[in-house]
Amino acid sequence: MLFKISLYTSGLLLFFLYLKPFKKLSFYFSLYVFSPILIGLSWLIDGISGAILGSLFLFFFVPSDVRFENNEIVINKKFGGLLGRCCDYEVVKKKMFLFEEKAAEFNFDKNIYLKKKDVQLRENYLEIHLVLKDYDLKEDQYIEKDTTIFVLMK
């Protein structure tokens, strides 16, 4: 948190330093000045136009929502904006400590949180085991459903 605040304040300071002898770099630093103003306006506008405007600027600042991670892969919940559909996930393979390769994308109709034992990486697909709870109105009780998702990887 402290790092983000110091990064933001340094961007604001650099905007004002590069403003007088106007340089191309001041366009980049203007993002630090105008993004809070536009996000505030989108909050005040309300409705669909405010949500679209807010999504455009928040897209660059929202951190990854990691749902599962091990030494080989990472499963992230994708950010679809304020009006995006629910539960799009992407599978990313780790390569050489620093690089990543997008291996697959899938959609599931519920939010999932995975444990180490739930995900198994096979040769060309990913096997995800879930236990879902559903409410049965006729019986007035919860029913657990054992579910397996197979995600084909590139």
Angle between helices 2-17 and 25-45 (to 10 degrees): 120
Residue 101 has pLDDT above 80, yes or no: yes
What is the pTM for the complete model shown? 0.59
| Token reading at 76 | 């992230």
Asked whether the predicted pLDDT for residue 49 surpasses 80, the reply is no
Mean of all residue pLDDT scores within the chain: 80
Predicted local confidence at residue 65, as pLDDT: 83
Separation of alpha carbons 26 and 18, rounded Å? 6
The Cα 125–Cα 150 span in angstroms is: 7
By residue count, the chain amounts to: 154
